[in-house]
Amino acid sequence: MNSFKDRVAIITGASRGIGLGIAKTLVERGAKVCITARNVEALDEAVNALGGPDVAIAVPGKADNAEHQDEAIAKTIEAFGRLDHLVNNTGINPVHGPTLDIDLGAAAKIFAVNVLAPVAWTQRARDAWMGEHGGSVVNIASVAGLGASPGIGMYGVSKAALIRLTKELGYELAPKIRVNAVAPAVVKTKFATALYEDREEEVASSYPMKRLGVPEDIAGAVAFLLSDDAGWITGQTMVLDGGVTLAGGL
Protein backbone atom coordinates (compact mmCIF):
# COMPACT_ATOMS: atom_id res chain seq x y z
CA MET A 1 0.00 0.00 0.00
CA ASN A 2 3.02 2.33 0.31
CA SER A 3 4.36 1.55 -3.15
CA PHE A 4 4.19 5.25 -4.07
CA LYS A 5 5.88 6.64 -0.99
CA ASP A 6 7.96 9.69 -1.94
CA ARG A 7 6.58 9.58 -5.50
CA VAL A 8 4.86 12.49 -7.23
CA ALA A 9 2.27 12.32 -10.01
CA ILE A 10 0.39 14.68 -12.29
CA ILE A 11 -3.10 13.56 -13.31
CA THR A 12 -4.84 15.67 -15.94
CA GLY A 13 -8.60 16.05 -15.95
CA ALA A 14 -8.80 14.95 -12.33
CA SER A 15 -11.41 17.11 -10.62
CA ARG A 16 -13.90 14.23 -10.84
CA GLY A 17 -14.54 10.80 -12.36
CA ILE A 18 -11.72 8.53 -13.44
CA GLY A 19 -9.03 11.15 -12.92
CA LEU A 20 -10.04 11.85 -9.33
CA GLY A 21 -10.34 8.12 -8.68
CA ILE A 22 -6.76 7.65 -9.86
CA ALA A 23 -5.55 10.54 -7.73
CA LYS A 24 -7.26 9.10 -4.64
CA THR A 25 -5.69 5.68 -5.17
CA LEU A 26 -2.21 7.13 -5.61
CA VAL A 27 -2.51 9.31 -2.50
CA GLU A 28 -3.78 6.33 -0.49
CA ARG A 29 -0.64 4.47 -1.57
CA GLY A 30 1.71 7.23 -0.50
CA ALA A 31 2.00 9.57 -3.48
CA LYS A 32 1.66 13.32 -3.69
CA VAL A 33 -0.29 14.60 -6.66
CA CYS A 34 -1.01 17.57 -8.85
CA ILE A 35 -4.45 17.51 -10.44
CA THR A 36 -5.58 19.63 -13.35
CA ALA A 37 -8.93 20.56 -14.91
CA ARG A 38 -10.73 23.69 -16.05
CA ASN A 39 -13.09 24.26 -13.11
CA VAL A 40 -11.36 25.98 -10.18
CA GLU A 41 -14.11 25.27 -7.65
CA ALA A 42 -14.24 21.57 -8.54
CA LEU A 43 -10.45 21.35 -8.27
CA ASP A 44 -10.49 22.99 -4.83
CA GLU A 45 -13.09 20.47 -3.64
CA ALA A 46 -11.02 17.63 -5.05
CA VAL A 47 -7.85 18.80 -3.28
CA ASN A 48 -9.74 18.86 0.02
CA ALA A 49 -11.11 15.39 -0.64
CA LEU A 50 -7.60 14.12 -1.31
CA GLY A 51 -6.25 15.41 1.99
CA GLY A 52 -5.29 19.01 1.40
CA PRO A 53 -2.16 20.81 0.19
CA ASP A 54 0.28 18.53 2.02
CA VAL A 55 -0.52 15.78 -0.47
CA ALA A 56 -2.30 17.50 -3.36
CA ILE A 57 -2.19 20.70 -5.36
CA ALA A 58 -4.35 21.83 -8.25
CA VAL A 59 -3.51 23.86 -11.32
CA PRO A 60 -6.51 24.96 -13.39
CA GLY A 61 -6.33 25.25 -17.15
CA LYS A 62 -7.05 23.63 -20.50
CA ALA A 63 -5.16 20.41 -21.14
CA ASP A 64 -4.08 21.44 -24.63
CA ASN A 65 -2.76 24.85 -23.56
CA ALA A 66 1.05 25.01 -23.57
CA GLU A 67 1.28 27.66 -20.86
CA HIS A 68 -0.95 25.59 -18.60
CA GLN A 69 1.18 22.50 -19.17
CA ASP A 70 4.36 24.41 -18.28
CA GLU A 71 2.74 25.93 -15.19
CA ALA A 72 1.43 22.61 -13.88
CA ILE A 73 4.78 20.87 -14.23
CA ALA A 74 6.70 23.79 -12.73
CA LYS A 75 4.34 24.08 -9.75
CA THR A 76 4.44 20.33 -9.14
CA ILE A 77 8.23 20.28 -8.94
CA GLU A 78 8.23 23.47 -6.87
CA ALA A 79 5.74 22.00 -4.39
CA PHE A 80 6.99 18.42 -4.16
CA GLY A 81 10.52 18.43 -5.57
CA ARG A 82 10.10 15.85 -8.34
CA LEU A 83 7.81 14.32 -10.97
CA ASP A 84 7.75 10.53 -11.21
CA HIS A 85 4.42 9.78 -12.88
CA LEU A 86 2.11 11.31 -15.46
CA VAL A 87 -1.46 10.24 -16.21
CA ASN A 88 -2.88 11.71 -19.41
CA ASN A 89 -6.54 11.41 -18.51
CA THR A 90 -8.18 14.45 -20.10
CA GLY A 91 -10.37 13.59 -23.06
CA ILE A 92 -13.23 15.23 -24.93
CA ASN A 93 -16.04 14.09 -27.19
CA PRO A 94 -18.06 17.20 -28.13
CA VAL A 95 -19.99 15.70 -31.06
CA HIS A 96 -22.26 12.75 -31.81
CA GLY A 97 -23.22 11.39 -35.20
CA PRO A 98 -21.72 9.99 -38.39
CA THR A 99 -17.98 10.49 -38.68
CA LEU A 100 -18.12 12.13 -42.12
CA ASP A 101 -20.70 14.66 -40.91
CA ILE A 102 -18.36 16.05 -38.27
CA ASP A 103 -17.30 19.68 -38.34
CA LEU A 104 -13.59 19.62 -39.09
CA GLY A 105 -12.90 22.23 -36.44
CA ALA A 106 -14.48 19.93 -33.85
CA ALA A 107 -12.39 17.03 -35.17
CA ALA A 108 -9.23 19.10 -34.85
CA LYS A 109 -10.13 19.96 -31.26
CA ILE A 110 -10.71 16.29 -30.41
CA PHE A 111 -7.24 15.44 -31.69
CA ALA A 112 -5.69 18.46 -29.98
CA VAL A 113 -6.96 17.34 -26.57
CA ASN A 114 -7.01 13.55 -26.91
CA VAL A 115 -3.75 13.00 -28.84
CA LEU A 116 -1.53 16.06 -29.14
CA ALA A 117 -1.96 17.15 -25.52
CA PRO A 118 -0.64 13.79 -24.22
CA VAL A 119 2.35 14.23 -26.54
CA ALA A 120 3.02 17.69 -25.12
CA TRP A 121 2.55 16.66 -21.47
CA THR A 122 4.88 13.70 -21.91
CA GLN A 123 7.46 15.85 -23.68
CA ARG A 124 7.42 18.39 -20.87
CA ALA A 125 7.56 15.72 -18.15
CA ARG A 126 10.56 14.18 -19.88
CA ASP A 127 12.37 17.49 -20.18
CA ALA A 128 11.59 18.63 -16.64
CA TRP A 129 12.41 15.46 -14.71
CA MET A 130 11.82 12.01 -16.14
CA GLY A 131 14.43 12.13 -18.88
CA GLU A 132 17.17 12.31 -16.27
CA HIS A 133 15.59 10.53 -13.31
CA GLY A 134 13.19 8.07 -14.93
CA GLY A 135 9.45 7.73 -14.56
CA SER A 136 6.26 6.23 -15.94
CA VAL A 137 3.31 7.47 -17.96
CA VAL A 138 -0.19 6.06 -18.40
CA ASN A 139 -2.53 7.27 -21.13
CA ILE A 140 -6.28 6.84 -20.68
CA ALA A 141 -7.53 5.47 -24.00
CA SER A 142 -10.86 3.69 -24.60
CA VAL A 143 -12.31 0.52 -26.09
CA ALA A 144 -13.73 2.94 -28.69
CA GLY A 145 -10.22 2.93 -30.11
CA LEU A 146 -10.27 -0.84 -30.64
CA GLY A 147 -13.08 -1.10 -33.17
CA ALA A 148 -15.92 0.76 -34.83
CA SER A 149 -17.74 3.07 -32.41
CA PRO A 150 -20.92 4.36 -34.10
CA GLY A 151 -21.95 7.86 -33.08
CA ILE A 152 -18.59 8.68 -31.54
CA GLY A 153 -16.39 7.69 -34.45
CA MET A 154 -13.89 10.56 -34.35
CA TYR A 155 -13.48 10.08 -30.60
CA GLY A 156 -12.71 6.42 -31.34
CA VAL A 157 -10.21 7.40 -34.02
CA SER A 158 -8.46 9.70 -31.55
CA LYS A 159 -8.26 6.94 -28.96
CA ALA A 160 -6.88 4.53 -31.56
CA ALA A 161 -4.21 7.14 -32.24
CA LEU A 162 -3.50 7.39 -28.51
CA ILE A 163 -3.04 3.61 -28.32
CA ARG A 164 -0.58 3.77 -31.22
CA LEU A 165 1.15 6.77 -29.61
CA THR A 166 1.61 4.67 -26.48
CA LYS A 167 3.49 2.07 -28.51
CA GLU A 168 5.71 4.63 -30.18
CA LEU A 169 6.60 6.42 -26.96
CA GLY A 170 7.07 3.15 -25.09
CA TYR A 171 9.68 2.22 -27.67
CA GLU A 172 11.36 5.61 -27.94
CA LEU A 173 11.54 6.53 -24.25
CA ALA A 174 12.75 3.19 -22.88
CA PRO A 175 14.53 2.38 -20.67
CA LYS A 176 14.25 5.59 -18.62
CA ILE A 177 10.53 6.18 -19.07
CA ARG A 178 7.81 3.55 -19.39
CA VAL A 179 4.63 4.46 -21.28
CA ASN A 180 1.46 2.36 -21.12
CA ALA A 181 -2.27 2.84 -21.56
CA VAL A 182 -5.60 1.55 -20.35
CA ALA A 183 -8.68 1.20 -22.55
CA PRO A 184 -11.87 1.27 -20.47
CA ALA A 185 -15.35 0.42 -21.64
CA VAL A 186 -18.26 2.40 -20.15
CA VAL A 187 -17.41 3.74 -16.70
CA LYS A 188 -20.05 5.41 -14.56
CA THR A 189 -18.90 9.03 -14.70
CA LYS A 190 -20.50 12.31 -15.70
CA PHE A 191 -18.48 12.23 -18.94
CA ALA A 192 -20.07 8.93 -19.99
CA THR A 193 -23.60 9.59 -18.72
CA ALA A 194 -25.13 9.73 -22.20
CA LEU A 195 -23.98 6.15 -22.85
CA TYR A 196 -26.02 4.62 -20.03
CA GLU A 197 -28.41 7.17 -18.49
CA ASP A 198 -31.88 5.71 -17.84
CA ARG A 199 -30.80 2.34 -19.25
CA GLU A 200 -27.90 1.21 -17.10
CA GLU A 201 -29.30 -2.27 -16.55
CA GLU A 202 -29.84 -2.76 -20.28
CA VAL A 203 -26.30 -1.60 -21.15
CA ALA A 204 -24.73 -3.66 -18.38
CA SER A 205 -26.55 -6.80 -19.52
CA SER A 206 -24.19 -7.09 -22.50
CA TYR A 207 -21.16 -7.17 -20.18
CA PRO A 208 -20.11 -10.64 -18.97
CA MET A 209 -19.43 -9.07 -15.55
CA LYS A 210 -23.02 -7.74 -15.57
CA ARG A 211 -22.13 -4.26 -14.42
CA LEU A 212 -20.59 -1.08 -15.75
CA GLY A 213 -17.22 0.11 -14.57
CA VAL A 214 -16.57 2.54 -11.74
CA PRO A 215 -13.54 4.84 -11.36
CA GLU A 216 -11.94 2.51 -8.83
CA ASP A 217 -11.80 -0.25 -11.47
CA ILE A 218 -9.60 1.97 -13.61
CA ALA A 219 -7.59 3.49 -10.78
CA GLY A 220 -6.20 0.18 -9.56
CA ALA A 221 -4.99 -0.81 -13.02
CA VAL A 222 -3.42 2.59 -13.62
CA ALA A 223 -1.63 2.43 -10.26
CA PHE A 224 -0.22 -0.97 -11.19
CA LEU A 225 1.07 0.24 -14.55
CA LEU A 226 2.68 3.29 -12.95
CA SER A 227 4.30 1.26 -10.18
CA ASP A 228 7.58 -0.61 -10.01
CA ASP A 229 5.54 -3.85 -10.09
CA ALA A 230 5.09 -3.12 -13.81
CA GLY A 231 8.77 -2.36 -14.28
CA TRP A 232 9.11 -4.67 -17.32
CA ILE A 233 5.98 -3.43 -19.08
CA THR A 234 5.99 -0.64 -21.64
CA GLY A 235 4.11 0.26 -24.79
CA GLN A 236 1.11 -1.87 -23.80
CA THR A 237 -2.61 -1.14 -23.55
CA MET A 238 -4.61 -2.92 -20.86
CA VAL A 239 -8.27 -3.42 -21.75
CA LEU A 240 -10.60 -2.77 -18.79
CA ASP A 241 -14.03 -3.65 -20.07
CA GLY A 242 -15.93 -6.05 -17.83
CA GLY A 243 -15.49 -8.59 -20.63
CA VAL A 244 -17.66 -6.74 -23.15
CA THR A 245 -15.15 -7.04 -26.01
CA LEU A 246 -14.72 -10.80 -25.60
CA ALA A 247 -17.47 -11.51 -28.09
CA GLY A 248 -16.62 -8.58 -30.34
CA GLY A 249 -18.91 -6.05 -28.68
CA LEU A 250 -18.07 -2.48 -27.72
**Whether residue 155 lies in the annotated active site:** yes
Q: At what angle do helices 66-80 and 117-125 cross, to 10 degrees?
A: 30
Neighbouring CB atoms inside 10 A of 151's CB total 15
Q: Helix, strand, coil % (nearest 5) of the chain?
A: 45, 15, 35
Question: If we measure between CA atoms, which residue out of 45, 122, 119 comes closest to residue 83?
Answer: 122
Cβ-Cβ contacts under 8 Å for 199 (sequence gap 6 or more): none
Report the C-alpha gap between 135 and 228 in whole angstroms.
Answer: 10
Report the C-alpha gap between 40 and 133 in whole angstroms.
Answer: 31
- Cβ atoms of 14 and 35 within 8 Å: the answer is yes
Residue 8, helix vs strand vs coil: strand
Position 97, amino acid: G
Identify the active-site residue in 155, 171, 196, 207: 155
Instruction: Convert 25-46 to b/e letters by CB count within 10 Å (16 or more is b).
Output: bbbbbebbbbbbbeeeebbeeb
- DSSP label at residue 87: E
What are the catalytic residues?
155
